[in-house]
Amino acid sequence: MILHVTLVLGSAANSWLVCGGAEGGRAFYRLMIQDLVPIQHRRLVFHPGPCVCVRFYMAVNSEPSDWGYAGNDEEKEPLLVAPHAQSKQTQGKTSPYGAVFIVVNAALGAGLLNFPAAFYMAGGVVAGVVLQMCLLIFIITGLVILAYCSQVSNESTYQEVVRAVCGKILGIVCEIAIAVYTFGTCIAFLIIIGDQLDKLINAMTHESDGAVSSHWYTDRKFTITVTSVLIILPLSIPKEIGFQKYASTFSVIGTWYVTAIIVIKYVWPDPEMSPGIIPTSPASWTAVFNAMPTICFGFQCHVSSVPVFNSMRSATLRPWGGVVTLSMIICLFVYTGTGVCGFLSFGSTVSQDVLMSYPSTDIAVAIARAFIIISVVTSYPILHFCGRAVLEGLWLRFNGTDVDTDVVRERRRRVLYTLVWFCLTLILALTIPDIGRVISLIGGLAASFIFIFPGLCLIEAKISEHDARSASWHALVLYGILMVTVGTFIFGQTTTNAIYRDILNH
């Protein structure tokens, strides 16, 4: 059975032949083409002339290879409607240099503190740097692939791109993965707050490092709880968050300051600092993979990259390729400097949070801790906001609505989401001893955003094209398969290893 629909769009008011009027035509287009017809089954043909004809053929109970195609044999356009085929409603204002700053800010964060320990687990400087360089190729190409798929799908967020290109099921999986990832990151943030407050309180009370607190009000669980309830929770409840620019500024300053302090302390070490054993090679070939979660967690900016790409003045692949390459090189220098100098400063005695390895009496390091606390306190609500928005979208879609117009019901649901999210992250942060445990788990999810979803998007986007299957076409499809394979391996290996190590520690 073949269903043949022709929608004729003209310039005259009476030329709308389907659904009655312009709004009806657009509604029909969205319903039939964007929602009902899978992306790989669309056949869109644009003929020049006074009218534009959009035809698609849908075969019921047929295989993808049986889908019809309306058009001449010489057309070389992709089946998806690229944004350049339609006039964009808004033009971005971000310059390439501004985009570099935003991407770097999105990548650099709390994962920085775990890089020295990751270099130790990988087996030394050489193993850590080589692993970073190898993964960086996939990281950069993944960012370019997402921009390409954003163009062909005309979507402006990561989850919308995945949903448009890969279908509804993978779109839902992607949204759930984003919610879990932001949830785990919020747990890591609370643990970092506890780590840094411990050291700052020891400095103020003149207690020795590692000593059990003699006062209930300096206990780690109490300080995390009070800070979270009094500061983080009130910032997380509002519907909108207007302090992102301040959080970004503190994050950038704090990250660069931490890196500078770690490098300076390695070049001019304190007399009381003495490194442990410094391995020069991995204990086994599998030991190198122990650093993968930290590297993926540290370089993951892919979820944020799609809106950044669409905000650029020139949202095309060539300038975007330069933006992401420069951004990742900057991140590489920051992470490598922190990882190498922090690892060589402490060796086998390095903590999962490198700042915990420094004495609490060091004033310069204490300032770094204060920067990190401010950055994390302001970043938690932003991550929670992203996770809450995804959960809200899933809930509304499950109910079959696009937006909840009932203000009271929306507020009640938002407060409930926030309280449940906050309480769960706080309870887990109080029971998990260090950020390494959290990063080892959510690092695998970060790999899915870097490798698996971009790889799947590339495969689906190329398969949807109807031009000649050239050597470059096959190469790109194979590269997409490689990305999915590597990402699946990293996700499975790191997650399994994290669970296994957690079981052993208990």
The pLDDT tens digits for 427-465 are 999 999 888 889 988 998 999 999 999 999 999 999 988
Q: DSSP per residue over 450-501, as a string?
A: IIIHHHHHHHHHHHTB-S---HHHHHHHHHHHHHHHHHHHHHHHHHHHHHHH
Q: How far apart are alpha carbons 122 and 124 in whole angstroms?
A: 6
Contact 268, 113 (CB under 8 A): no
Q: Greater confidence, 288 or 463?
A: 463
Mean pLDDT of the chain, nearest integer = 80
User: Does residue 326 register a pLDDT over 90?
Assistant: yes
pLDDT, residue 345, reads 93
Burial of 277 (0-12, 13-18, 19+ CB in 10 A): exposed
Q: What are the percentages of helix, strand and coil residues in the chain, rounded to 5?
A: 70, 5, 25
Contact 108, 255 (CB under 8 A): yes
Least confident among 347-351, 412-416, 468-472? 468-472
Can you tell me the mean pLDDT for 75-95? 52
Contact 312, 147 (CB under 8 A): no
pLDDT, residue 410, reads 83
pLDDT, residue 257, reads 93
Q: Greater confidence, 411 or 243?
A: 411
**Which residue carries 């070389």 as its tokens?**
76
281: pLDDT confidence band, cut at 50, 70 and 90? confident
pLDDT digits (tens, 9 = 90+) for 124-164: 899 999 999 999 999 999 999 999 999 999 998 999 999 99
Domains in the chain and their CATH numbers? 2-79 (no CATH), 96-455+467-505 (1.20.1740.10)
Percent of the chain with pLDDT over 90: 46
pLDDT, residue 451, reads 96
Q: How many residues does the chain have?
A: 506
Q: Which two tokens stand for residue 207?
A: 């207690």
pLDDT digits (tens, 9 = 90+) for 19-60: 444 444 444 334 333 444 444 444 343 333 444 444 333 333
Q: How far apart are alpha carbons 246 and 243 in whole angstroms?
A: 5
pLDDT, residue 68, reads 38
Q: Which two tokens stand for residue 298?
A: 């540290």
405: pLDDT confidence band, cut at 50, 70 and 90? low
92: pLDDT confidence band, cut at 50, 70 and 90? confident
The DSSP symbol for 213 reads: P
Backbone angles phi, psi at 59, to 5 degrees: -95, 120
pLDDT digits (tens, 9 = 90+) for 370-403: 999 988 888 898 889 889 989 988 888 888 776 6
User: Does residue 317 register a pLDDT over 50?
Assistant: yes
Least confident among 116-120, 318-322, 404-408, 416-420? 404-408
pLDDT, residue 105, reads 85
Backbone angles phi, psi at 487, to 5 degrees: -65, -40
Q: Greater confidence, 203 or 188?
A: 188
pLDDT digits (tens, 9 = 90+) for 327-360: 999 999 999 999 999 999 999 999 999 999 998 8
Q: Where are the extended beta strands (E) located within 332-438?
A: none
Beta bridge partners of 134: none
User: Does residue 99 register a pLDDT over 60?
Assistant: yes
61: pLDDT confidence band, cut at 50, 70 and 90? very low
pLDDT digits (tens, 9 = 90+) for 202-253: 888 777 665 555 677 778 899 999 999 999 999 898 887 665 656 667 777 8
pLDDT, residue 429, reads 95
Contact 276, 346 (CB under 8 A): yes
Q: How far apart are alpha carbons 68 and 74 in whole angstroms?
A: 16
pLDDT, residue 212, reads 55
**Rounded CA Rg of the chain:** 25
In sequence order, which residues have a C-beta less than 8 Å from that of residue 463 and are 6 or more positions away? Answer: 40, 477
User: What's at 30, amino acid-wise?
Assistant: R
**Which residue carries 């950055």 as its tokens?**
375
